[in-house]
């Protein structure tokens, strides 16, 4: 009865809206490193590989490790409280990024941001699983994930405008004096998360059956579940990691790629990428979520893998033009097509995991899987681009070729693993629904 009162007074759409906004805030914080890449590299004297570490590896260092106990916590306590505390912590660490004066200091601050954000996806997926009707799960997850693209778009457009407006001129901030514009961006980005935390503290969650098992026992149960369904979980998770490489590697490097390849300033580059990204990525995610729900409604239990395989394959021609074109107009048009296709596949992994995972273990299992795909997609995929530029091509102007090499590897592998996942995912999802 408590769950029914909850549904009547606080519709699931309200919860979904808050989770969407929390992901917006998270990806504003993440996206600013890419937006301000040129001035950060210059002021802190970074190589491309170091910049890739800041943009990817530093973030996932604790994001992956701490997401697992936080996922266990989300299965056993108030998820909205976990998210509120996470919002406050990662927003504080975003502000600390503005004070960094060295690679090491910035690296530690980004580790803190990753630690705070580690709670969000496991707790959000667990909460969505409790309040969203099953036939709307694909669209709901797509809307939640759209927060990432909207946040990235806001970071690019707002950050690009501020960088263009102030250039290298210092901005006066109370208590801190005159600071570089990129530092002011991180200070501004720390504010919305603090405000949003208040709304999460006021949420009344639906009742859940109590789970008495401790963390060790729960962890063993989760591993046992994953191992008993290692085929569907393994192939789906591998293809999901490749999709993250496709969506996140280019998002991290495209503003700097346009600066180097077409000679435009960092501010206009971020504005251009932000405009293109804000159009293509959210529309792609929404389309992907609708497509998954429609395929599922027609009896295709392997709908997530079908979408992943098609998106991975179809994005290859657009990626080639985007990364290698000599004209910025052609590159920009191809970028829109590539982005649409890459982000259309992003709801698939989380939707498939929802279908496979029992409610009692959802937070912990999702945390384990998110840790795996984030480590591969963000922790390795983003630095791989910079590593190839520094150590293989030995030329900063070859950033487009480095980016294309990583994209092609992820697309081919993602398509292959998604195809392998289809049959085993269909059988496992049907078994889970019957249970």
Burial (CB count within 10 angstroms: exposed 0-12, middle 13-18, buried 19+), residue 37: buried
Strand pairing category for 177-179 and 171-173? antiparallel
**Residue of 326, 306, 273 whose CA lies nearest to 156:** 273
Is 208 inside a domain boundary?
no
| 70 vs 66: CA distance, rounded Å | 6
**Average pLDDT along the chain:** 84
Per-residue pLDDT tens digits for 275-305: 898 889 889 988 998 898 888 888 777 888 9
Q: Is the torsion defined by CA of 8, 12, 15, 17 positive or negative? A: negative
At residue 309, does pLDDT exceed 60?
A: yes
| 381 vs 121: CA distance, rounded Å | 20
| 421 vs 299: CA distance, rounded Å | 16
Q: Which residues span the domain enclosing 121? A: 2-202+214-434
At residue 69, does pLDDT exceed 50?
A: yes
What is the number of domains present in the chain?
1
CB-facing half-sphere around the CA of 279: CA atoms within 13 A: 11
- Residue with more model confidence, 417 or 277: 417
| pLDDT at site 118 | 86
Which range, 8-12, 177-181, 371-375, 388-392, has the best average confidence (pLDDT)?
388-392
At residue 138, does pLDDT exceed 90?
A: no
Per-residue pLDDT tens digits for 260-278: 889 888 888 888 888 898 8
**Residue of 319, 351, 350 whose CA lies nearest to 336:** 319
Residue with tokens 């994930």: 145
DSSP secondary-structure letter at 204? Answer: -
Is 130 inside a domain boundary?
yes
373 token code pair: 């795909």
DSSP secondary-structure letter at 180? Answer: -
Task: Work out the average pLDDT over 69-97.
Answer: 87
At residue 320, does pLDDT exceed 90?
A: yes
The answer to whether the predicted template modeling score (pTM) of the entire model surpasses 0.75 is: no
Is 184 inside a domain boundary?
yes
CA angle in degrees (0–180, nearest 5) for 416-422-427: 150
| pLDDT at site 169 | 65
Is 277 inside a domain boundary?
yes
Output the CA torsion 115→118→119→120 (10° steps).
130
What is the DSSP code string of 210-233?
A: -----HHHHHHHHHHHHHHTHHHH
- Under DSSP, is residue 186 helix (H, G, I), strand (E, B) or coil? helix
At residue 8, does pLDDT exceed 50?
A: no
Worst-scoring range by mean pLDDT, 5-19, 183-197, 234-248, 399-413?
Answer: 5-19
SS3 labels along 258-321: HHHHHCCCHHHHHHHHHHHHHHHHHHHHHHHHHHHHHHHHCCCCCHHHHHHHHHHHHHHHHHHH
| pLDDT at site 245 | 92
User: Is the separation of the CB atoms in 183 and 166 below 8 Å?
Assistant: no
Q: What percent of the chain has pLDDT over 90?
A: 28
User: Is the separation of the CB atoms in 321 and 294 below 8 Å?
Assistant: no
At residue 19, does pLDDT exceed 70?
A: yes
Task: Work out the average pLDDT over 64-83.
Answer: 81
CATH of the domain at 430: 1.20.1250.20
Q: How confident is the model at residue 1 (pLDDT cuts 50, 70, 90)?
A: very low
415 token code pair: 């398509």
| pLDDT at site 54 | 83
- 424 forms bridges with which residues in the sheet? none
DSSP H/E element including 38: helix 37-44
| pLDDT at site 207 | 65
Worst-scoring range by mean pLDDT, 195-199, 205-209, 315-319, 374-378?
Answer: 205-209
| pLDDT at site 209 | 56
Per-residue pLDDT tens digits for 183-221: 888 988 999 999 999 999 888 776 665 554 566 777 788
At residue 3, does pLDDT exceed 70?
A: no
Per-residue pLDDT tens digits for 386-413: 888 888 888 888 899 999 999 999 999 9
User: Is the separation of the CB atoms in 344 and 288 below 8 Å?
Assistant: yes
At residue 430, does pLDDT exceed 70?
A: no
């Amino acid at each position: 009865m408590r769950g029914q009162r909850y549904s009547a007074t606080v519709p699931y759409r309200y919860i979904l809206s808050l989770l969407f906004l929390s992901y917006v805030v998270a990806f504003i914080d993440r996206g600013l490193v890419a937006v301000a890449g040129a001035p950060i590299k210059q002021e802190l004297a970074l190589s491309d590989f170091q910049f890739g570490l800041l943009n990817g590896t530093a973030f996932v260092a604790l994001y992956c490790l701490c997401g697992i106990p936080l996922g266990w916590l989300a299965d056993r306590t108030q998820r909205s409280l976990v998210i509120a505390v996470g919002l406050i912590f990662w927003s504080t660490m975003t502000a600390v990024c503005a004070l960094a004066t060295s690679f090491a200091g910035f690296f530690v601050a980004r580790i803190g941001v990753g630690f705070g954000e580690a709670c969000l996806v496991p707790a959000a997926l667990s909460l969505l699983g409790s309040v969203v009707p099953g036939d709307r799960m694909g669209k709901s997850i797509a809307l939640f994930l759209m927060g990432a693209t909207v946040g990235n778009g806001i970071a690019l457009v707002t950050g690009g405008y501020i960088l263009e407006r102030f250039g290298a001129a210092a901005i006066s901030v109370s208590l801190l004096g005159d600071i570089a514009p990129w530092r002011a961006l991180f200070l501004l980005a720390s504010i919305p998360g603090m405000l949003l935390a208040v709304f999460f503290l006021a949420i009344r969650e639906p009742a859940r059956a109590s789970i008495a098992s401790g963390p060790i026992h729960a962890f063993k149960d989760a591993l046992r579940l994953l191992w008993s369904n290692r085929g569907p979980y393994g192939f789906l998770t591998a293809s999901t990691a490749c999709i993250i490489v496709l969506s996140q590697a280019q998002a991290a490097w495209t503003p700097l790629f346009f600066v180097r390849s077409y000679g435009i300033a960092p501010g206009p580059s971020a504005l251009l990428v932000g405009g293109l990204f804000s159009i293509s990525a959210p529309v792609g995610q929404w389309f992907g979520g609708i497509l998954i729900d429609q395929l599922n409604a027609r009896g295709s239990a392997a709908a997530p893998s079908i979408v992943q395989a098609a998106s991975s394959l179809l994005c290859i021609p657009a990626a080639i033009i985007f990364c290698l074109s000599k004209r910025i107009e052609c590159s920009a048009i191809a970028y829109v097509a590539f982005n649409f296709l890459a982000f259309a596949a992003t709801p698939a992994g989380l939707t498939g995991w929802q279908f496979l995972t029992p409610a009692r273990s959802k937070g912990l299992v999702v945390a384990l899987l998110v840790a795996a795909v984030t480590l591969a997609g963000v922790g390795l995929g983003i630095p791989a681009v910079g590593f190839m530029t520094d150590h293989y091509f030995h030329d900063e102007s070859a950033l487009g070729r480095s980016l294309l090499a990583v994209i092609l590897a992820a697309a081919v592998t993602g398509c292959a693993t998604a195809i392998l996942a289809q049959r085993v995912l269909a059988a496992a999802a049907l078994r889970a629904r019957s249970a």
